[in-house]
Amino acid sequence: MFEYTSKIRVRYGETDQMGYMYYGNYAEFYEVGRVEMLRSLGMTYSAMEASGIIMPVLELKCKYLKPALYDEEISVKVIMEKMPAVKIHFKYELYNPDNELINIGETLLAFINVKTNRPCLPSVEFLDKLKPFFQ
């Protein structure tokens, strides 16, 4: 299993009139978590795209437990429970500054070959970087 946690501060423009983070912005926090998780492995989305692989989101699940509030620093934990194949599944846990679980979510992404627009396996480099976490 691979886990990575990053922190993101809720900005004013991401909130509604009550000071709660707008519900649609949680998916953006998931994306930031994924990007930072890849970066922690020494990889980037832009490098993956340059190699001819894109990763569209196929499914999104999101459950709101407590609100994220303006100016709070939110911890975004990204969890990968199994090695990816043609698809990659992520779970998310968001915590407020008091370390209370405020949101859980999941996304399912696919690896797509840009030239053929067909599903493909992730790069060997990506799989090699993940192997130590799944042995």
Domains (ranges, CATH) in the chain?
A: 2-130 (3.10.129.10)
Cα–Cα distances in angstroms (integers) from residue 21 to residues 7, 77, 113, in the given order: 15, 18, 35
Active site residue 128: no
Q: What is the pLDDT of residues 59-94, one digit of tens each?
A: 999 999 999 999 999 999 999 999 999 999 999 999
Q: Is 57 within 8 Å of 35 (Cβ atoms)?
A: no
* 135: confidence class by pLDDT, cuts 50, 70, 90: confident
Longest dimension (CA), the chain: 47
- Tokens matching residue 83: 């090695």
| Catalytic residue, candidates 16, 71, 98, 128 | 16
What pTM did the predictor assign? 0.94
Determine the Cα–Cα distance for residues 134 and 2; give it in Å rounded to an integer: 7
